[in-house]
Amino acid sequence: MSDSLRTVQFVDLWTAASRRVYSFILSILPHWADAEEAFQETSRVLWEKFDQFEPGTDFTAWACRIAYYKVLEVRARRRRGPLAFSDAFVEAVEEELSASAEPLSRRHAAMLGCIEKLKPRDRDLVRRRYRESATTRSVSAELGRSVSAVYKALNRIHEALFDCIERTLAREGR
C-alpha cells in the first residue's frame, strides 16, 4: 500500500472511531488531563502500528484495545495519587465495551445501508438535521417548512429506519 493511500485509510478509520475511543477513555479516567494524555498516546500508537491492523476487521475495537493499554499506563504513572476506580472496575468496563463493539458496528452498518435506501428527499432531511450545529428549527427555516412538519417527517423517517435496521439485522442473524 502506498504511503498516501495508507494515510487516507488511517485518517478515514480514525475519524470515524476517535469519538468512541475518547469516550471509552473518559469512562475510565475521570480526570480530563489524564484522558487527554491517554488519547494522544493512543493516537500515536495507532498510527505507528497501523500496518498491523487487519483490513476488514473492527478498527474501533482494535483502537479501544490499544487505548485500554494506554489507560493502564497512565494509571500506573498516577499511582502516587488516589485512584478513582479500581483495576477490577477498569477491566470490567473494558470487557463490557469490547463485548458491545461488534453488535454496535453491525447496527451502524445496517443504519448506513438503510439511510441509502431512503427517498432522496428524506435522506436530504436526515443529513440536514444531523449535521453539526443543526436544529429542527434551523432546518425548518432552511426548507421553508413548519417546525411541526419537520418533526413529523423526521419521526416518520426514524420509524422507517428503525424497521429497516431491525429487518436487516434479523436477515443477517439467519
Give residue limits of the domains in the chain: 1-102, 118-174
pTM for the full model?
0.48
Give pLDDT < 50 ranges for the chain. Answer: 174
Written out in words, the top-level CATH class of the domain with range 1-102 is mainly alpha
Q: 25: which residues sit within 8 A by CB, 6+ positions away?
A: 35, 38, 39, 42, 67, 70, 71
Provide, for the chain, the percentages of residues in helix, strand and coil under a 3-state DSSP scheme, each rounded to the nearest 5: 80, 0, 20
Q: Check residue 102 and give its pLDDT.
A: 60
pLDDT for the residue numbered 44: 94
The CB density around residue 73, as the number of other CB atoms within 10 Å, is 13
Cβ contacts of 111 within 8 Å, gap of 6 or more? 161, 165
